[in-house]
A = this chain, B = another copy of it.
Amino acid sequence: MKIGFIGLGIMGSRMAMNLLKNVTELNVYNRTKSKADELLEQGAVWNESPAKLAKDCDVVFTMLSTPKAVGEVAFGEDGFVEQMKKGALWLDCSTVNPSFSRMVADSVLKQNKRFMDAPVAGSLKPAENGELVFLVGGEPTDFDEIRYLLEYMGKAIHHLGSVGKGSSAKMVVNSMLGQAMVAFSEAIALGKSLDLDNDKLFEILIGGPLTAPFIGLKEEKLKNSEYSPEFPLKWMHKDLNLAAWSAYENNCVLPALNAGKEIYSGAKANGMGDLDMSAVYDYMINKLNNKQ
């Protein structure tokens, strides 16, 4: 079975590396070739375009940034879907909205190829360690067929139902991520305005029952204003926006999520889009609240 991987950013490069360690051949493509260097050194095979990569592969993974990027790579000029073999399977690990996944699936199926949405929960470190959580939508037989591949990259593989359900679950998961970070940021901003000691607040909150555990992993970075991107803030904003859109499409009322979305929007509008999503903490305290 020939496997291809398109999209070697922060997440994709680590995922591909874990695949590479476990399969006999891995075909890769990325818009910026240099990002593939390490993979190529380790034996991955470079392809000049998504279309060329797709021609040979039985399974194609994509890990791209936005629905728009997925649409262009898949169906734009020289899009790869047309080049896929009949019956070949495309697994899209990108975070997109479920109605987009379903629309994509419809187009793919019409060409007698197969599609699954398989986005992941987890950022840089879990990607590196093969400890991602896969949220998968698609046919059960397809799922059974490729599950072992996902296990090379993830520690938990959830099959949530038909196509779109992986993306649906991803919307849910990332809304938790975004809102937990906002809740913590506002809590500390409030504490600061009340003249409480930051370190003391961190001590009380982090590791406690009220704080999402992932905040603990960011503790040192928050304290040191280190915001090198593990998960860029602009994608967090994008995901909350897709979640809000999906909520609209499905008649779901989410006042707090929309409020949170606008906070990330403000951080992005103030130049923080390429920092880690945890920089919303910095935005909340130093810009919105101007407590420098």
Interface, chain A (partner B; CB < 8 A): 98, 121, 133, 135, 158, 160-161, 164-165, 168-169, 171-173, 175-177, 179-180, 182-184, 186-197, 200-201, 203-205, 208-214, 217, 237, 241, 243-248, 250-263, 265-266, 268-271, 284, 288-290
Contacts and interface: CB of A to CB of B under 8 A. Distances in A.
Given A169-B196, A213-B209, A271 B290 contact: yes
Contacts of A180: 180, 183, 210-212
Contacts of A194: 98, 164-165, 168, 171-172, 246, 250, 252
Contact of A288 (B188, B250, B258, B266): B266
A186 B196 contact: no
A196 B210 contact: no
Can you list the 9 inter-chain pairs with the closest CB atoms, starting with the nearest? Answer: A193-B252, A259-B259, A168-B194, A179-B183, A193-B250, A209-B214, A176-B210, A258-B258, A172-B191
Contacts of A205: 172-173, 176
A140 to B, nearest CB: 15
B197 A172 contact: no
Contacts of A188: 172
A248 B241 CA distance: 7
A173 B210 contact: yes
A255 B258 CA distance: 8
B197 A160 contact: yes
Contacts of A164: 194
Nearest to A97: B194
A165 to B, nearest CB: 6
B158 A172 contact: no
Given A175-B190, A251-B269, 10 more contacts: A121-B208, A173-B210, A175-B183, A180-B183, A194-B252, A210-B212, A252-B269, A253-B289, A258-B258, A269-B289
A215 to B, nearest CB: 9
A194 B256 CA distance: 18
Contact of A246 (B121, B133, B190): B190
A112 to B, nearest CB: 20
B214 A210 contact: yes
Nearest to A245: B245
Nearest to A126: B209
Nearest to A258: B258
A223 to B, nearest CB: 17
A120 to B, nearest CB: 12
Contacts of A251: 193, 265, 268-269, 289
A162 to B, nearest CB: 9
A190 B211 contact: no
Contact of A212 (B212, B243, B288): B212
27 contacts: A133-B208, A168-B195, A169-B200, A171-B194, A172-B191, A172-B205, A173-B210, A175-B187, A179-B186, A180-B183, A183-B256, A186-B255, A190-B254, A194-B252, A209-B217, A210-B214, A241-B248, A252-B269, A253-B269, A253-B284, A253-B288, A255-B255, A255-B262, A256-B259, A256-B263, A258-B258, A259-B259
